[in-house]
Amino acid sequence: MLKDIAVGSCVHMLSQMDDKALDEFWRETSAGKYPIVDFQGNLGYSLLNEDGISFVRNDFTSQNEQFELVFGDIFLPDTVQEFLFNNKVMLLMVYRKGTQNLLLSELRVDVKFMLDLPRGQYFFFIFLLDAGAKSLLSSTVHAIGFPSRMHLNSPELETFYLKHPADIWEFVDPSPIEIKRGGPFYINLIMVNIEQIPGCSLLFSELLQEDESTLSL
Protein backbone atom coordinates (compact mmCIF):
# COMPACT_ATOMS: atom_id res chain seq x y z
CA MET A 1 0.00 0.00 0.00
CA LEU A 2 2.59 2.59 1.10
CA LYS A 3 4.91 1.88 -1.81
CA ASP A 4 2.32 3.55 -4.02
CA ILE A 5 2.43 6.77 -1.99
CA ALA A 6 6.17 7.13 -1.29
CA VAL A 7 5.82 7.35 2.51
CA GLY A 8 8.67 4.90 3.07
CA SER A 9 10.95 6.81 0.73
CA CYS A 10 10.39 10.10 2.56
CA VAL A 11 10.90 8.53 5.98
CA HIS A 12 14.05 6.88 4.64
CA MET A 13 15.53 10.34 4.12
CA LEU A 14 15.14 11.02 7.84
CA SER A 15 17.36 8.02 8.56
CA GLN A 16 20.10 9.75 6.51
CA MET A 17 19.93 12.97 8.53
CA ASP A 18 22.31 13.88 11.31
CA ASP A 19 21.33 12.06 14.51
CA LYS A 20 22.03 15.10 16.68
CA ALA A 21 19.71 17.27 14.58
CA LEU A 22 16.87 14.73 14.81
CA ASP A 23 17.42 14.29 18.55
CA GLU A 24 17.32 18.05 19.11
CA PHE A 25 14.18 18.33 17.00
CA TRP A 26 12.52 15.57 19.04
CA ARG A 27 13.51 17.20 22.36
CA GLU A 28 12.04 20.52 21.24
CA THR A 29 8.88 18.69 20.15
CA SER A 30 8.56 17.08 23.57
CA ALA A 31 8.95 20.55 25.11
CA GLY A 32 6.02 21.88 23.05
CA LYS A 33 8.10 24.41 21.10
CA TYR A 34 6.79 23.42 17.62
CA PRO A 35 10.19 23.01 15.94
CA ILE A 36 11.04 22.70 12.24
CA VAL A 37 14.06 20.85 10.82
CA ASP A 38 15.29 20.34 7.26
CA PHE A 39 17.45 17.64 5.65
CA GLN A 40 20.65 19.59 6.39
CA GLY A 41 19.79 19.65 10.11
CA ASN A 42 18.86 23.36 10.33
CA LEU A 43 16.43 23.98 13.19
CA GLY A 44 13.72 26.63 13.33
CA TYR A 45 10.29 27.19 14.90
CA SER A 46 6.76 27.74 13.62
CA LEU A 47 4.75 30.79 14.63
CA LEU A 48 1.06 31.28 15.36
CA ASN A 49 -0.12 34.38 13.51
CA GLU A 50 -2.90 36.80 14.46
CA ASP A 51 -5.40 34.81 12.39
CA GLY A 52 -4.75 31.65 14.40
CA ILE A 53 -2.84 29.94 11.57
CA SER A 54 0.44 28.16 12.26
CA PHE A 55 3.15 29.54 9.97
CA VAL A 56 5.72 26.82 9.21
CA ARG A 57 8.70 29.02 8.38
CA ASN A 58 10.87 27.76 5.54
CA ASP A 59 14.08 29.74 5.96
CA PHE A 60 16.40 27.00 4.80
CA THR A 61 16.10 26.95 1.00
CA SER A 62 17.77 29.23 -1.53
CA GLN A 63 16.33 32.73 -1.58
CA ASN A 64 17.00 32.89 -5.34
CA GLU A 65 13.98 30.67 -6.05
CA GLN A 66 10.40 31.76 -6.62
CA PHE A 67 8.16 30.90 -3.66
CA GLU A 68 4.42 30.30 -3.38
CA LEU A 69 2.25 30.36 -0.27
CA VAL A 70 0.57 27.06 0.65
CA PHE A 71 -2.27 26.70 3.17
CA GLY A 72 -3.05 23.36 4.80
CA ASP A 73 -6.07 21.90 6.57
CA ILE A 74 -6.55 18.51 8.24
CA PHE A 75 -9.58 16.20 8.44
CA LEU A 76 -9.58 14.20 11.70
CA PRO A 77 -12.13 11.36 11.60
CA ASP A 78 -13.42 9.82 14.83
CA THR A 79 -11.02 6.88 14.54
CA VAL A 80 -8.11 9.33 14.84
CA GLN A 81 -9.55 11.86 17.29
CA GLU A 82 -9.57 9.21 20.02
CA PHE A 83 -5.74 9.33 20.05
CA LEU A 84 -5.31 13.09 20.30
CA PHE A 85 -5.54 13.49 24.06
CA ASN A 86 -3.01 10.86 25.15
CA ASN A 87 0.43 12.49 24.87
CA LYS A 88 0.62 12.48 21.08
CA VAL A 89 2.51 14.68 18.64
CA MET A 90 1.51 15.57 15.08
CA LEU A 91 4.29 16.08 12.51
CA LEU A 92 4.10 17.47 8.99
CA MET A 93 6.57 16.09 6.43
CA VAL A 94 7.08 17.91 3.12
CA TYR A 95 9.38 16.44 0.46
CA ARG A 96 10.28 18.12 -2.82
CA LYS A 97 10.32 15.52 -5.59
CA GLY A 98 13.70 14.75 -7.15
CA THR A 99 15.70 16.68 -4.52
CA GLN A 100 16.94 16.40 -0.96
CA ASN A 101 14.61 19.20 0.13
CA LEU A 102 12.81 17.78 3.15
CA LEU A 103 11.00 19.73 5.85
CA LEU A 104 9.69 18.25 9.11
CA SER A 105 7.57 20.35 11.45
CA GLU A 106 5.44 19.82 14.54
CA LEU A 107 1.84 20.92 13.99
CA ARG A 108 -0.74 22.23 16.41
CA VAL A 109 -3.81 19.99 16.57
CA ASP A 110 -6.96 21.53 15.08
CA VAL A 111 -5.02 24.55 13.76
CA LYS A 112 -4.61 25.30 10.07
CA PHE A 113 -1.06 25.77 8.82
CA MET A 114 0.70 27.66 6.06
CA LEU A 115 4.18 27.61 4.57
CA ASP A 116 6.04 29.13 1.65
CA LEU A 117 7.64 26.70 -0.78
CA PRO A 118 9.83 27.06 -3.86
CA ARG A 119 7.99 26.04 -7.01
CA GLY A 120 8.16 22.31 -7.68
CA GLN A 121 6.38 19.00 -7.04
CA TYR A 122 5.85 17.95 -3.42
CA PHE A 123 4.72 15.03 -1.31
CA PHE A 124 2.86 15.97 1.88
CA PHE A 125 2.32 13.63 4.85
CA ILE A 126 1.25 14.01 8.47
CA PHE A 127 2.18 11.55 11.22
CA LEU A 128 0.49 11.16 14.60
CA LEU A 129 3.10 9.71 16.97
CA ASP A 130 3.66 8.95 20.65
CA ALA A 131 5.30 12.00 22.20
CA GLY A 132 6.80 9.94 25.03
CA ALA A 133 9.16 7.90 22.83
CA LYS A 134 12.91 8.28 23.42
CA SER A 135 13.51 9.27 19.79
CA LEU A 136 11.59 10.11 16.64
CA LEU A 137 12.51 6.90 14.82
CA SER A 138 11.54 4.74 17.81
CA SER A 139 8.08 6.28 18.16
CA THR A 140 4.82 4.47 17.47
CA VAL A 141 2.64 5.59 14.55
CA HIS A 142 -1.09 5.89 15.25
CA ALA A 143 -2.24 7.64 12.05
CA ILE A 144 -0.89 8.99 8.78
CA GLY A 145 -2.35 11.94 6.87
CA PHE A 146 -2.49 11.90 3.08
CA PRO A 147 -3.50 14.59 0.56
CA SER A 148 -7.18 14.53 -0.31
CA ARG A 149 -8.86 14.52 -3.70
CA MET A 150 -11.39 17.13 -2.61
CA HIS A 151 -11.92 20.04 -0.23
CA LEU A 152 -12.23 18.78 3.34
CA ASN A 153 -14.65 21.42 4.55
CA SER A 154 -17.37 19.79 2.48
CA PRO A 155 -20.17 18.45 4.75
CA GLU A 156 -20.68 15.65 2.23
CA LEU A 157 -17.24 14.24 3.03
CA GLU A 158 -17.89 13.97 6.75
CA THR A 159 -21.34 12.50 6.15
CA PHE A 160 -19.96 9.93 3.71
CA TYR A 161 -17.12 8.98 6.06
CA LEU A 162 -19.48 8.40 8.98
CA LYS A 163 -21.50 6.00 6.84
CA HIS A 164 -18.58 4.34 5.02
CA PRO A 165 -15.40 4.64 7.14
CA ALA A 166 -13.67 1.78 5.30
CA ASP A 167 -13.86 3.73 2.03
CA ILE A 168 -11.64 6.59 3.23
CA TRP A 169 -9.07 5.61 0.56
CA GLU A 170 -11.45 6.83 -2.13
CA PHE A 171 -10.59 10.35 -0.99
CA VAL A 172 -6.78 9.96 -0.91
CA ASP A 173 -4.65 11.23 -3.80
CA PRO A 174 -1.12 9.71 -3.73
CA SER A 175 0.24 11.92 -6.52
CA PRO A 176 2.78 14.67 -5.80
CA ILE A 177 1.26 18.14 -5.76
CA GLU A 178 2.67 20.71 -8.15
CA ILE A 179 3.30 24.10 -6.58
CA LYS A 180 3.64 26.51 -9.49
CA ARG A 181 3.13 30.14 -10.33
CA GLY A 182 -0.29 31.47 -9.47
CA GLY A 183 -0.66 30.67 -5.75
CA PRO A 184 -1.71 30.61 -3.02
CA PHE A 185 -2.42 26.88 -2.96
CA TYR A 186 -4.69 24.95 -0.59
CA ILE A 187 -3.73 21.45 0.56
CA ASN A 188 -6.17 19.24 2.44
CA LEU A 189 -5.01 16.12 4.25
CA ILE A 190 -7.04 13.19 5.61
CA MET A 191 -5.77 11.40 8.71
CA VAL A 192 -6.06 7.62 8.39
CA ASN A 193 -5.90 5.30 11.41
CA ILE A 194 -2.86 3.03 11.04
CA GLU A 195 -5.12 -0.01 11.42
CA GLN A 196 -6.81 0.94 8.13
CA ILE A 197 -3.50 0.81 6.21
CA PRO A 198 -2.88 -2.83 5.15
CA GLY A 199 0.54 -4.17 6.13
CA CYS A 200 1.75 -0.89 7.63
CA SER A 201 4.19 -1.07 10.54
CA LEU A 202 3.37 0.63 13.84
CA LEU A 203 7.00 1.70 14.34
CA PHE A 204 8.02 4.92 12.63
CA SER A 205 11.53 3.61 11.86
CA GLU A 206 10.13 0.59 10.00
CA LEU A 207 8.16 2.77 7.58
CA LEU A 208 11.43 3.44 5.76
CA GLN A 209 11.60 -0.26 4.92
CA GLU A 210 8.20 -0.25 3.20
CA ASP A 211 9.65 0.69 -0.15
CA GLU A 212 12.80 2.57 -1.15
CA SER A 213 12.27 2.15 -4.88
CA THR A 214 10.52 5.53 -5.13
CA LEU A 215 13.52 7.53 -3.93
CA SER A 216 14.32 8.53 -7.51
CA LEU A 217 10.84 9.89 -8.14
Distance of CA 82 to the CA centre of its chain: 19
The total number of residues shown for the chain amounts to: 217
Evaluate the CA torsion angle 184, 73, 124, 42 in order and state its sign: positive
Given this model, what pLDDT does residue 160 score? 65
Q: Tens place of pLDDT for every residue, the chain, 217 residues?
A: 444 445 666 777 777 888 899 999 999 998 889 999 998 899 999 988 888 899 998 766 666 778 899 999 888 877 777 777 678 899 999 988 877 788 999 998 878 999 989 889 998 989 988 888 888 888 888 888 888 876 544 556 666 666 665 566 777 777 788 998 887 898 888 888 877 666 565 555 555 444 443 333 3
| Residue (of 12, 49, 29, 38) closest to 90 by Cα position | 29
Cα-to-chain-centroid distance, residue 119: 18
Angstrom CA distances, 175 to 5, 59, 216, stand at 7, 26, 15
Question: Mind listing the pLDDT tens digit for each residue in 66-86?
Answer: 889 999 988 887 777 777 767
Q: Contact at 8 Å (CB) between 80 and 191?
A: yes
What is the model's pTM?
0.83
Alpha helices in 68-199 (DSSP H): 78-81, 155-163
Q: Which DSSP string do the residues of 167-191 spell out, in sequence order? A: GGGGGB--SPEEE-SS--EEEEEEE
* Residue 143: predicted pLDDT: 86
Contact 45, 56 (CB under 8 A): no
